[in-house]
Amino acid sequence: MLNRDQELWAVALWVEKNHGAAGPAHMAEQVKRLANEGDEAGVETWKAIAGRFDQLNCQNATN
């Protein structure tokens, strides 16, 4: 069973694999949709995913 941090990394990797360079736009859409729905926990989750996505891209740029 995955812990919360592992789940967030898994989603970040999924976004990278399935959306590539369009990943930031996809994540921004999720944040906007959830904000409009008043789902603050969902907004915070996608912000955490976006932070991990950014870390992935920084690591990939240096390798």
Q: Which domain holds residue 58?
A: 4-62
User: Number of folded domains in the chain?
Assistant: 1
Q: Rounded to two decimals, what is the model's pTM?
A: 0.89
* 37-61: b (≥16 Cβ within 10 Å) or e: eeeeeebebbebbbebbeebeeeee
> What whole-number distance in Å separates Cα of residue 48 and Cα of residue 5?
9
Instruction: Read off the pLDDT of residues 1-60 as tens digits, 9 standing for 90 and up.
Output: 989 999 999 999 999 999 999 999 999 999 999 999 999 999 999 999 999 999 998 776
The number of beta carbons lying within 10 Å of the beta carbon of residue 28 is: 12
Helix axes 23-36, 4-19, angle to 10 degrees: 120
Distances (CA, A) of 28 to 1, 7, 45: 28, 19, 12
